[in-house]
């Protein structure tokens, strides 16, 4: 059983939580906790052994935790996701392969694309693909996307190189549920064409960032990042090729963390228990 807790910090929280678990005959297998002193915020992830009435357990914890505490007892282990794409295949292919062999930690319900380039690979893995081309009036195409996504009721939406900026209205429908992979070590080179910007700047490191999507372009809470070295001999094309490999790896890591309930979002930051 997994227990997730986020609340205001106060003296005795760990002792109170442990006492409740002990009374319920639940044994703590692992416990990770963190206190953000600046915001007086407490975060905890518990892996416990045993069976208990989950509703009653949550009620008992709410009785001893500060008001407004966020508690999840035994979140659904196998999440459901919808993937959104444009034309680049590398991140989608990795997700579909992991899904096919049962190592993703989630079920891919469908793929939504604003081009039909990637429909064939979805067909090969027997995953429904829906083409929703972008309309001059963004509200029309996004409205169709929102309706399609909600019809599947996913836990998360994964932007696997979906190369369109989503409106605040779209994001508001799925708070802290949209995960993006950006081809840059944010906050450097946000926005479009980061590899060309990196090449022109003559950087010696390039990277990728997986983050939750907010109204601020490429500034949402960061889940995972990674960098690789480059040098003066790299062309823009070389950077793109190397970058695609790291994008795939970073998105895979971010999904593993999120799908295993190891990521806490608070304001515009994350606490990640790896």
Measured torsion, CA atoms of residues 59, 64, 68, 73, in degrees rounded to the nearest 10: -40
Q: State the residue for tokens 């979140």.
A: 75
94 catalytic? Reply is no
Q: Which residues contact 208 (CB under 8 A, 6 or more apart)?
A: 181, 182, 183, 184, 185, 225, 226, 243, 246, 247, 249, 250, 251
Sign for the CA dihedral angle at 15, 21, 26, 28 comes to: negative
Q: Which residues contact 253 (CB under 8 A, 6 or more apart)?
A: 210, 224, 226
Q: State the residue for tokens 């309706």.
A: 147
DSSP state of 75: -
Cα distance between residue 90 and residue 257, in whole Å? 20
Catalytic residue selected from 94, 218, 238, 261: 218
3-state secondary structure 3-58: EEEEEECCCCHHHHHHHHHHHCCCEEEEEEEEEECCCCEEEEEEEEECCCCHHHHH
Adjacent-strand bridge partners of 134: none
Measured torsion, CA atoms of residues 24, 31, 70, 178, in degrees rounded to the nearest 10: -130
Residues tagged active-site: 218
């Amino acid at each position: 059983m997994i227990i997730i807790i986020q609340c205001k910090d106060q003296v005795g929280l760990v002792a109170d939580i442990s006492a409740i678990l002990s009374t319920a005959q639940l044994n703590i297998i692992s416990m990770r906790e963190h206190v953000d002193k600046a915001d007086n915020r407490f975060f905890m992830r518990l892996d416990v052994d045993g069976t208990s009435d989950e509703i009653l357990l949550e009620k008992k914890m709410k009785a001893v935790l500060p008001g407004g505490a966020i508690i999840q007892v035994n979140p659904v282990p196998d999440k459901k996701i919808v993937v959104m794409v444009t034309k680049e295949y590398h991140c989608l292919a990795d997700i579909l392969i992991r899904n096919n062999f049962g190592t993703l930690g989630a079920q891919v319900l469908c793929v939504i694309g604003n081009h039909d380039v990637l429909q064939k690979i979805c067909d090969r893995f027997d995953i429904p693909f829906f083409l929703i081309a972008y309309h001059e009036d963004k509200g029309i195409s996004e409205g169709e996307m929102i309706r399609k996504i909600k019809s599947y009721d996913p836990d998360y939406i994964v932007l696997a190189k979906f190369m369109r900026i989503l409106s605040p209205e779209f994001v508001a429908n799925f708070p802290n549920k949209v995960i993006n992979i950006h081809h840059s070590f944010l906050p450097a080179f946000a926005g479009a064409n980061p590899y060309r910007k990196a090449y022109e700047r003559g950087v010696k490191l390039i990277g990728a960032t997986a983050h939750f999507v907010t109204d601020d372009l490429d500034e949402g809470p960061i889940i995972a990042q990674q960098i690789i070295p480059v040098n003066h001999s790299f062309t823009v094309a070389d950077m793109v090729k190397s970058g695609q490999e790291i994008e795939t790896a970073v998105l895979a890591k971010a999904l593993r963390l999120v799908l295993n309930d190891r990521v806490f979002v608070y304001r515009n930051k994350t606490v990640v228990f790896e």
